[in-house]
Structure 1
Amino acid sequence: MICAIACANKSRYMTHLSASDAEFYESGLPHVQAVTSSVSGESLQALLLLVLYCLFHPRKGDIWKLLDYACRLSVELGYHAEPQDSACNDMSISLSLRKNTFWSLYTNEQIVAQIFGRPCDLAGYIISTDYPGTLISGLSPGAEQGLTAHRYRIFYLRGEIYGELFLPTDSAVHSLEWFVQRFVTLSQWFEEIQVDGAEANIETATCDVAFHSTVIILFQPLLICALSDTKEAELDPSARRLIPSENYRSACQLIRTYWNIVRVPHDSALGLYGMTIMSAHYIYLAGLTIMARAQLSIDGRVKSLAPLDAGTLNEVAQQIDYSEIFEISGSCLVLLHWCASRWRGMVGMMDMYKRLSEKLLPLLARSGMA
């Protein structure tokens, strides 16, 4: 399965590897039941490999069922808790490997659950195991282990935000200050991982994607409410007139990050970055966020807040800078076309984005904002 994943990943550069990818996968299928039927760390790792392969080829497996089984197995093995003594389950696997296995599973489960709008099977309150490695501020170049720990941390933070926003036990409406406080926490995390002079690689790109996609998710409820409010001829008196614009800037940066990833040579540090179906959904989410902000600006009734510098909330309106929106939108359309060529189900998403951009961008330009 490892060989199948490697071929699936590199096939975006060398299309002939698609045949090898399928061959390795078919060769491994007869052994799946034997490998995954036992309650062991090896079974959990095998399930994670299957999940990863299915993220490249969603039609070849039920990702939700695989993740559900893997989550249950991880809890049965006790991987979600910090081991108390040498008698804990499966101590033949090193503590570091246990932690990396669990947090890799947690990260993938969070991403899939949030993209498809369902609860995560691994509730945050049951998790007591530490992150692998050490959370270090001001990482030095090459400190991949520290970056790995930070990467797992943001997905835990995002899981908490997602749960409060989209899976509440009541109908509480969060204040603007609540969103700003969460944004400050995310920004502090992002500042901690910045390394001067560090070359872009898989870890830095993954952290960039994690941060900017989380910012988009954080402000998504405000954006959806604003779009809903502007459907009416007159805004409801209780409607927000100002919403943060950080999700627009994060959406643009997310497109730039993926644009750089798909254009790098195969032998570069970013050449091994895994472009999966989740990447396609992130690109689409970023594109729709950009179009939604453009639509609100054209409508003009819901204004954008000035940038949240240093986490301060000054309720002052400031027009979004759309000077690069045509370039960003073009890159987004190319990326969606690339995704549609790999996953046919993305064709409808690409067409929807294309229709929106063809309608909204000329209006934005005629209004003098772009």
Structure 2
Amino acid sequence: MSSPDEAAVRAALSTVVDPELRRPIDELGMLAGVAVDGGRVTVRVLLTIAGCPLRSTIEADVRAALHEIPGVAQIDVQLEVMTPEQRQALKERLRPSRGIPFSRPESLTKVFAVASGKGGVGKSSVTVNLACELAARGLRVGIVDADVHGFSVPALLSITQGPTQVDDMILPPVAHDVKAISIGMFVTGNQPVAWRGPMLHRALEQFLADVYFGDLDVLFLDLPPGTGDVAISVSQLLPNANLLVVTTPQAAAADVAERAGSVSAQTGQRVAGVVENMSGMALPDGTVLEVFGSGGGRRVAERLSAALETSVPLLGQVPLDVALREGGDAGEPIVLSDPDSPSAVALRAIADQLAAAPRGLAGRSLGMTPR
């Protein structure tokens, strides 16, 4: 059997992607060396930190990529650790400038801040399912769990792994191809977080500036209910964010949700639309039981359209569905576990509209100069 070609070996290794950074290891400077000796291939890979939680995944991916090359009889993967200088070079390559990348005029990321007037309307479930649906379509998606006091995104995504910290850069865990960060990843058990406004602002700022999400197509922020400190901080840190208002059909919930959307008149943000969650529940006999009433989402959309003097659409009505709740408890979003269920179909239709929404060109350079 002839020896494998080194060029073929390197080509195969170029397909190995770091599971946290989501870029090829050779592009990240993690591929330190390749040696071919007959049928034996030795590969040196540099890990970002000594305690890299996904070292076994990286090794397995390297072996899988080389296993398909003709002539490879033995694979030796040597895992080493980057020097401080190599880590600094990596950080500069990934993040050449500091600050919040999503607030820059040249950013192409569509940012949706998912808001609600009150708690318990399923805002986090809507956020997670929309994010997973868009990621399943091949978009690069991230979630910032901005509900510091009532975080739930890690459980809804079944994330138990904490973020990896490379010096002052934080790498978010990935679940269902969605990158997510939450204060729940930094506390032990079900420990409560009792913070006031300044600390909430700093936490959100750190999530947006110090967490490396890479180039995202869509970023969701799961906001706490109401129009308090975090909502104000989002308007300051991400003035171009679009608000996505979630309500239930109930009149009391709709009235409060309208306030959450009306805050955009003060912050200058755009309301992308309204999502009515927990709409009528289909019964086995074909009838629909309106547990929380009806029409709340449409009323919110109409009132916001009038108050903001712009069209605020009702993006969709997600039916009350036991499977949606069960999927959230199991960390399996229903758009993935049961995509043909009524609630998943409604969520996917909402995702269609968010995916089609254009990114504004305001403030962004077109790369042309007048002559």
- Flag whether TM exceeds 0.5 (same fold): no
Class of the TM-score when normalised by the shorter of the 2 chains: under 0.3
Greater fraction strand: 2
Greater fraction helix: 1
Bigger Rg, which one: 2
Instruction: Between the two structures, name the one with larger relative contact order (CA 8 Å, sep ≥ 6).
Output: 2
